[in-house]
Amino acid sequence: MPQTTNEQHPGELPDPRPRKAGRGIVPVLAFAGITVAVMQTLLVPVIKDLPALLHTAPSNATWVMTATLLAGAVATPIMGRLGDLRGKRKMLLASLAVMVVGSLICAFTDELVVMIVGRALQGFAMGAIPLGIGIMRDELPRERLGSAMALMSSSIGVGGGLALPAAALVAQHADWHALFLGSAGLGVLSMALTVLAVPETSLRAPGRFDLPGALGLSLGLVCLLLPITKGADWGWTSPATLGLIATALLVLVLWGLFELRSPTPLVDLRTSARREVLLTNLASIMVGVAFYAVSLVLPQLLQLPESTGYGLGRSMVVAGLCVAPLGITMMLVAPLYARLSARRGPKVSLMLGMLVMAVGYGAGLGLMSAAWQTVVIAVVLGAGIGLAYSSLPALIIGAVDPSETGAANGLNTLMRSIGTSVSSAVIGMVLANTSIRTGGTVLPSMEGFRISFLIATGAVVAGLVLASFLPSRRAPARPVLLASSEDGAPAPTAPVSPAASRPVAGSGGFRGRVLDADGAPVARANVTLIDHRGRQAGLTVAGEDGHYALAAPHGGSYVLAGSAAGFAPCARPAAHPGDGLPVEADLVLELSAPERRTAVPS
């Protein structure tokens, strides 16, 4: 009988996903990501007119943008964790529903406070990106996962690039409130498509939702991001700015200590401290800085009057069309990323993306004198950002447990949001301090644009250095399950360990200990139960003393697989009689060795 090998990457458990998944999942989830990007971008064409539209001062009008940023930063890791616990599709629909409510509130008001509330509700949609990536990991076969994650991750740029000219056209020829009605319509359509095409995943993380941790993280993030986004208005040395930064540091330190002691933390800081996770998140901040810089500079340069001597004098719609190739190119490089990552690994594609971005920003320093030159910059930067964005979720997924996918990608998306916040604050300050007065109007200067590109180049170089320290791709160390090409194939088996499984009193399922070769317990090891079709039937994390317990959905033949950082995986057959009694099965992990590969025959 023909057999296929589900190849594993370092840091991953055996692939439990069904080999056949609905073709509609990828475009529907990517559309959800584009909807979120449109929500973020729809006010960019009218940002300079917001004070007049809302009858308020410019410093107050900026809260319309800041509220969305803060709400998205808070919601992203929380929705990711809730998705791991309660169901990713359910939380995806909840995120989109809150966005629709916020859009409708904004569509029928000119009051500043009400508008800020609506924009904050819209920010909750940011959780859709990590939730969509988590659903893809749970549902798609491995051969489709790379390109699907690349498309989902880059959808934020795709939607932003496509939304700019569309939003500019609407704002120029219709009431600006129509922008929010369009956002609400996209949200409703995305929800309907999700209900029809996206299944709810069966994978659930153990434990409960960490409400104190969520509140602590929310408070810390608000205190951190608020002075970053408003520091230029308040003054970087003002008591409000310094006081909030100090409060943020104190709250986040206390939150970290609490999370380390929590049995079910919102964010597993031990996992986040792993080299591959930590470096990927730090590189994500740099990618966020670089991505937002081009979005701030090019539209302003294109719309400045030619009388300044450097402005290109284009209309709002033309400026949007010139920047649109940024998002389109990000979408087009998704298949390229999948092939490159399959051959060389996501680390190589991340570094290549950083190099392309460095070339784009370097060329941009001398290509700002014509509209066609800004299109060239957008295309090159779009290619680099697309490669980099597509690599980040693959690096995270390869380093965390499947049950932590939503929370881990949520944290990674948060890091990108912090990068865009820092970029907005720093570049906004640079443009303000280098502005010139022309005809009684204060305008950004060419010097400010070039300094902004230099800052982005520095961020790219820093990200490239961080990426170079990521672990290189190695031969797989996880068990490789060989599955039949036909459903209902005989159960896969594993090398039999010396100890036989035996029934013991208690609840049904399997229980035992995860030990090393010397008999010492392996703390917090991952234990996966795989059914006779190669699908994941259960997942848990062993305690500090190595003990684990897993319920079996029914009697029959299974494979128990154990894995932990620094150890080669262990897989063993286990049969449950279905009599309600547990079967005791210990797993012994040996220290990993380079180029080790364990095959499980079927």
Name which of 255, 173, 183 is nearest 34 in CA terms: 183
Q: pLDDT-based confidence at 187, cuts 50/70/90?
A: very high
Q: 280 near 399, Cβ under 8 Å?
A: yes
Q: Which three-class secondary structure string do you get for 456-483?
A: HHHHHHHHHHHHHCCCCCCCCCCCEEEE
Is residue 330 within 8 A of residue 386, CB to CB? The reply is yes
- What average pLDDT does this structure show over 423-435? 79
**What pLDDT shows up at residue 143?**
66
Angstrom distance (rounded) from CA 140 to CA 487: 16
Q: How many CA atoms lie within 13 A of 146 on its CB side?
A: 20
Average pLDDT over residues 359-385: 88
Confidence bin at 595 (pLDDT 50/70/90): very low
At residue 162, the pLDDT reads 72
| Beta carbons within 8 Å of 571's beta carbon, 6+ residues apart | 14, 479, 481, 494, 495, 559, 560, 561, 562, 598, 600
User: Can you give the pLDDT at residue 533?
Assistant: 65
**For residues 91 and 409, what is the distance between their CA atoms, to the nearest angstrom?**
14
Q: In this structure, what token pair is assigned to residue 219? A: 């408070």
3-state secondary structure of 123: helix
Helix axes 25-41, 142-173, angle to 10 degrees: 30
Q: What is the mean pLDDT of residues 428-440?
A: 77
* Each residue's pLDDT tens digit, 47-57: 777 888 888 87
Task: Report which of residues 118 and 445 the model is more confident about.
Answer: 118
Least confident of 9-23, 295-309, 341-355: 9-23
- pLDDT exceeds cutoff 90 at 523: no
Q: Which of 81-90, 281-290, 403-412 has the lowest mean pLDDT?
A: 403-412
Q: Which residue has the higher pLDDT, 1 or 275?
A: 275
pLDDT digits (tens, 9 = 90+) for 150-178: 777 667 666 766 777 778 788 777 888 88
| pLDDT for position 573 | 83
> Exposed, middle or buried, 343 (CB in 10 Å: 0-12/13-18/19+)?
exposed
What are the structure tokens assigned to 81, written together?
Answer: 């964790």
Each residue's pLDDT tens digit, 476-486: 434 434 333 33
Name the least confident of 148-152, 208-212, 248-252: 148-152
Reply yes or no on whether the pLDDT at 100 is more than 90.
yes
| pLDDT of 79 higher than 70 | yes
**Residue 96 in this model has a pLDDT that exceeds 60:** yes
Q: Which two tokens stand for residue 53?
A: 């539209």
> Residue 73: CA atoms inside 13 Å, Cβ hemisphere, count?
27
- Please give the average per-residue pLDDT across 24-32, as a whole number: 86
Instruction: Band the pLDDT of 17: cuts 50, 70, 90.
Output: very low
- Phi, psi dihedrals of residue 325, rounded to the nearest 5°: -60, -20
With beta carbons less than 8 A apart as the criterion, state whether 425 and 315 touch.
no
Could you tell me the pLDDT band of residue 10, with boundaries at 50, 70 and 90?
very low
Determine how many CB atoms are found less than 10 A away from the CB of residue 532.
17
pTM reported for the whole predicted model: 0.66
Helices (H) and strands (E) in the chain, counts: 20, 15
What are 37's two structure tokens? 């990007």
pLDDT in the model for residue 3:
37
pLDDT on residue 301: 86
Q: Give the chain's domains with CATH numbers.
A: 25-209+264-468 (1.20.1250.20), 210-263 (no CATH), 480-600 (2.60.40.1120)
Whether 596 has a pLDDT exceeding 50, the answer reads no
For residues 559-565, average pLDDT: 84
Q: Residue 489 pLDDT > 70, yes or no?
A: no
Q: How far apart are CA 229 and CA 59, in angstroms?
A: 11
Side chain identity at 66, as an amino acid letter?
A: T
The CA-atom distances, in angstroms, between 87 and each of 132, 201, 204, 261 are 11, 7, 7, 25
Instruction: Name the helix (H) or strand (E) containing 484.
Output: strand 480-484
Q: Residues 384, 386, 390, CA angle at the centre, nearest 5°?
A: 125
Mean pLDDT of all residues belonging to the chain: 78
Residue pair 139/201 in contact (Cβ under 8 Å)? The answer is yes
**Tokens representing residue 199 in the block:** 């299944």
Q: What is the pLDDT of residue 23?
A: 65
Place of tokens 């930067």: 381
